[in-house]
Amino acid sequence: MKKKTRQLLILNGLLILIVAAAILSVNSGYARISFSTAVHSIFQPHTDGASVVVAQFRVPRIVLAVLCGMGLALAGCVMQTVTGNPLADPGILGINAGAGFAVMLFLTFFPALHIRTMAYQPIFAIAGGLCTTGLLYLFAKRNGKLIPIYFLLGGIGLASLFSSFMLIMAANMDNSSYQLVARWLAGNIWGTSWHQVLALLPYMLILVPFLLTKSNILDILLLGENTAISLGIAVERELRLLLIASVALTSACVAVSGGIGFVGLVAPHMARRLIGGRHHALMPASMLLGALLLLLADTLGRSAFQPRDIPVGIVISVLSAPYFLFLLRRYF
């Protein structure tokens, strides 16, 4: 079988699995709803209980899980190439924590804006993510070169620092606000309406196509800086653009989903094993795997421990931590 045909079959197979997972997710939760009722509620919504649950709660949550999974996985794939570190991930590098800290500052000091609209939340998250990246860049650059291990260690340190700040701020909140923030920090697809989807969608529509068009640049960067320069690539400029775009995409996802880790680490490595290292196929495969992982984890968290709802970030961490340890042993 030709490599291109095999790649197309794998991508189509992942799409089918996502659709199947979405169907499973619609029927999962405290209120059991049959598949036929769910489909009828989506295409012919009514005011009855089942229709409201499906159209206003479960479908937005499924869409948000798919979008966030795609965004986090794509950002992780790009970061691994840009930093030259196979363990690069928005969560491990502290991007999630930096964006989350900025969102918490926004929720604390501008609660009226948050109540009025979701539009400002991703903006604050992106600002926090970019500030974190700037600090990482300063820490990890030595003699004009980015040192991957410093980037990783600096990210771990910043993640701990910002997480501590967030816990200190949360400790001063009332009980209901603290419960909401604690679940958000754990990573929770908490969007129960289309407002969160609409807040994230513009960033997905701009940043995802931009990063996908850079697949050839990413392939060339894998050959090394000197080779890329000899082929006419403005390496510093491209690295900055790719890093800014991937951080912005991560931060926008964090703004509506909380601190979900490991998706950006695990999905690209799984995609490489399935489809190879060329970015024109690797990036779409990473996105589809990220969407599938997050959707399945969210469904498991909602259905396995009823009536309790386990945050998706906890489920992802439990499932992905062993794979991270395997990668750590393999690469270091």
- Give the percent of the chain with pLDDT over 70: 89
Q: Mean pLDDT check: name the lowest of 72-76, 211-215, 250-254, 307-311.
A: 307-311
pLDDT digit string, tens, across residues 226-236: 888 898 888 88
Give the mean model confidence (pLDDT) for residues 3-19: 92
Which has the higher per-residue pLDDT, 66 or 24?
Answer: 66
Helices marked H in 35-110 = 35-43, 49-53, 59-83, 95-109
In sequence order, the β-bridge partners of residue 142 are 145
* pLDDT cut 90: percent of the chain above it: 36
pLDDT per residue as tens digits for the range 287-319: 999 999 999 998 888 887 777 778 888 888 888
Q: Where are the beta strands (DSSP E) in 159-302?
A: none
| Residue 49 pLDDT level (bands cut at 50, 70, 90) | low
How far is it, in rounded angstroms, from Cα 296 to Cα 189? Answer: 12
Query: What's the pLDDT at 66?
Result: 95
Superfamily of domain 3-45+60-331, CATH level 4: ABC transporter involved in vitamin B12 uptake, BtuC (1.10.3470.10)
**pLDDT confidence of residue 163:** 86
83-131 residue pLDDT tens: 888 888 888 888 988 998 998 888 788 877 766 677 888 999 999 999 9
Q: What average pLDDT does this structure show over 147-158?
A: 85
Identify the residue with better confidence: 54 or 268: 268
* Burial (0-12, 13-18, 19+ Cβ within 10 Å), 278: middle
Structure confidence at residue 151 (pLDDT): 83
Q: What does DSSP assign to residue 118?
A: S
pLDDT over threshold 70, residue 250: yes
Q: Which pLDDT band holds residue 201 (cuts at 50, 70, 90)?
A: very high
pLDDT-derived band at 251 (thresholds 50, 70, 90) equals very high
Q: What average pLDDT does the segment 170-189 reach?
A: 73
> What mean pLDDT comes out for the span 27-51?
66
How high is the pLDDT of residue 31? 66
CA distance 209 to 191: 24
Confidence check: pLDDT of 191 > 60: no
Residue 275 has pLDDT above 70, yes or no: yes
Please, which pLDDT band fits residue 213 given cuts at 50, 70 and 90?
very high
Q: Which residue has the higher pLDDT, 183 or 45?
A: 183
Q: What torsion do the CA atoms of 184, 259, 247, 165 make, to the nearest 10 degrees? A: 80
3-state class (DSSP) for residue 141:
strand
